[in-house]
Amino acid sequence: MSDVEDDASGGLADEAYLMPAYVKLLVSDALRSRAFYVALGFEVRHADQVFTHLRWARGADLFLVAPPPGVAFAASRGAGVLVCFSVVFDDLEAIAVRARAAGAKVEGPSPQPWHTRELVVTDPDGFRLAFVQPA
């Protein structure tokens, strides 16, 4: 589970809500990807053979989707795009340890000129995730 708390009990709120924006990633192996994201600390909200709804924190949801029949994967996915997640209470170094243990390429954490520290993790399909913490 993520380090960002949603309600007074310290857990993620269970109610459904309209998300103003969200990200869907087409993944080549749904079970592998789901296990990878859970190892990083994401919570599974729903999962079946084609679709996984993950939550880092309320309002920070991510969807993993198997590609529709006939859709080929590009050789390089996610180039030029970082999917960012705020880190408030957790330690970037702890996330880096979990990511390395899950077999991910890890960059940082590194200080940024915009007053944050960022850890960049590459998932099994080549998507780059940035975990961002105020400096």
pLDDT band at 9 (very low <50, low <70, confident <90, very high): very low
Domain boundaries, the chain: 23-68+79-134
Q: Quote the CA–CA distance of 41 and 98 in Å, as a whole number.
A: 8
pLDDT value of position 50: 84
23-68+79-134 CATH pick, 3.40.718.10, 3.40.50.2300, 3.40.640.10, 3.10.180.10:
3.10.180.10
What number is the average pLDDT over the span 14-26? Answer: 76
Does pLDDT of 11 surpass 60? no
Q: Quote the CA–CA distance of 85 and 130 in Å, as a whole number.
A: 6
Q: Please name every residue paired with 117 in a beta bridge, in sequence order, or none if there are none.
A: 111, 133
Residues 110/122, Cβ–Cβ less than 8 Å: no
pLDDT band at 8 (very low <50, low <70, confident <90, very high): very low
pLDDT band at 4 (very low <50, low <70, confident <90, very high): very low
Phi/psi of residue 97, nearest 5 degrees: -60, -45
What number is the average pLDDT over the span 68-76? Answer: 70
